[in-house]
Structure 1
């Protein structure tokens, strides 16, 4: 498994856990963090034994976004990774899920600060769990900056536009309770338990047919901007082939035999 000094990678069964690991800076973005994160997405998609991904942060925070102290000083931590960014100028956007969507489901486990670039990364995840004390928000306008990680496009598609614009234009913090109310996250859990809950959700996903899971995820995003008729046509195009797989036959046979199915991606 990969990883860098600011991004740890570990396996929990069929789940790959990616941990933003720069707690002294509230996991603010750095080149080692971004390189490790992008490599983690690639590793998950390349390994068929991995069925889900959990993204979390070390030290009680998720991610405080861009390292403004480093920005003011003219550089990001981890300059020795600069060659990776030179070779792939979009690497940081792919790491932040702006230009990249893993085919495996991504579950965010949020504690503490998830602000600015942290909230932007969050918008690229599929399922979101947060501790009750978590804080969200897009603070960029307060610093005279622009939330260029995709928020002006994606946020209004994920929550009502009035809430999206309030978040974008005021730069104020949002509690976990308010974030779940407006639909930015899916559930609020007791502080310190977000990772455990995310892993339980991942295990439920892992027990399902992986070909079906990946096809469903792909179809949801592919049809998001389509009209209903076009979307329903694509659903049939993506969905019918799943019924012809060996996994589909195994699922029916296991149901009939009252046993746990053994899916083999066939």
Structure 2
């Protein structure tokens, strides 16, 4: 069952079971990032982390488009709706970076469901997600250098850590578009599916995650990211510190008990 659960005029929030779906909802502008969209994203990430009944998040776009990047005109104030959004950015000048997952990492797994254009700021947000599904006609790319700009959403740091450096540099320095098949071949996305099915495929992955122990899932995600810059020795020590407490939880005991009793486990985040 899917139900509406808030958002802004450019960002819809819906619940689908234990999954929170955040939808970039400005199709008339190819879901270009507006202040209303960024405020909605920021609040959506925080809402997902604060609600223990949410076990995963899916990020997608409306109208057959993921995101065409930053709407500089809107962010400058022309066409920006809602004084409350302007006040939010003034109160927290870092809000847009948190919304774009540059300065915030949700503790719940985030799955991207990409249809159509996912370029410039769209590809930058994508790098903050954990698992990525793309429709066959999806297009990716960091076009900033073609406009004399810098991809300041984190791409010069993150992209070479997520795909081979030669591919990262080509994407960053040429500003050319990449097909979904190319994005998959270099490891930028993990799945390519028929057009119109990216959200369904992402929700299927989310359902598998939701069936697992939430404390274990969150600890595994945290361990992967926090050990990324460590030496192997440091990382293994940090992994033990993060992983050992999971074995002492009631959920761990429930998982073993359910396996022995040949039934689905009932996890209670305890």
Contiguous gaps of at least 5 residues in structure 2: none
- Asked if 1:85 corresponds to 2:89, the answer is yes
1:18 to 13, 17, 22: 22
Superposition deviation, residue 75 in structure 1: 4.2
Asked if the contact 1:108–1:129 (Cα under 8 Å) also holds between the matched residues in 2, the reply is yes
What is the aligned partner in structure 2 of residue 160 from structure 1?
A: 164
After alignment, is 60-69 or 145-154 more displaced? 60-69
Instruction: Give the match's secondary structure for 1:86.
Output: helix
What is the aligned partner in structure 1 of residue 137 from structure 2?
A: 133
- Asked if 1:243 corresponds to 2:247, the answer is yes
Equivalences for residues 210-249 of structure 1 within 5 A: 210-249=214-253
Equivalences for residues 20-99 of structure 1 within 5 A: 20-70=24-74, 75=78, 77-78=80-81, 80=83, 81-99=85-103
What is the aligned partner in structure 1 of residue 197 from structure 2?
A: 193
Distance 1:248 1:110 in 2: 34
Distance 2:90 2:242 in 1: 37
Distance 1:148 1:64 in 2: 15
Write the deviation string for residues 208-230 of structure 1: whole angstroms up to 9, x where unpaired: 00000000000000001111010
After alignment, is 78-87 or 27-36 more displaced? 78-87
Superposition deviation, residue 76 in structure 1: 5.9
Superposition deviation, residue 68 in structure 1: 4.6
Superposition deviation, residue 77 in structure 1: 2.5
Superposition deviation, residue 74 in structure 1: 6.2
Asked if the contact 1:17–1:56 (Cα under 8 Å) also holds between the matched residues in 2, the reply is yes
1:109 to 110, 113, 132: 113
Instruction: Give the match's secondary structure for 2:133.
Output: strand
Superposition deviation, residue 2 in structure 1: 2.8
Asked if the contact 2:57–2:206 (Cα under 8 Å) also holds between the matched residues in 1, the reply is yes
Q: How many residues align?
A: 265
Write the deviation string for residues 157-212 of structure 1: whole angstroms up to 9, x where unpaired: 00011111110110000000000000000110001000000000000000000000
Superposition deviation, residue 67 in structure 1: 1.4
Distance 2:77 2:54 in 1: 38
Asked if the contact 1:31–1:79 (Cα under 8 Å) also holds between the matched residues in 2, the reply is no
Asked if the contact 1:64–1:118 (Cα under 8 Å) also holds between the matched residues in 2, the reply is yes
What is the aligned partner in structure 2 of residue 259 from structure 1?
A: 263
Asked if the contact 2:35–2:74 (Cα under 8 Å) also holds between the matched residues in 1, the reply is no
Asked if the contact 1:129–1:197 (Cα under 8 Å) also holds between the matched residues in 2, the reply is yes
Contiguous gaps of at least 5 residues in structure 1: none
Structure 1 residues 74, 140: closer, same or farther in 2, change over 3 A?
farther
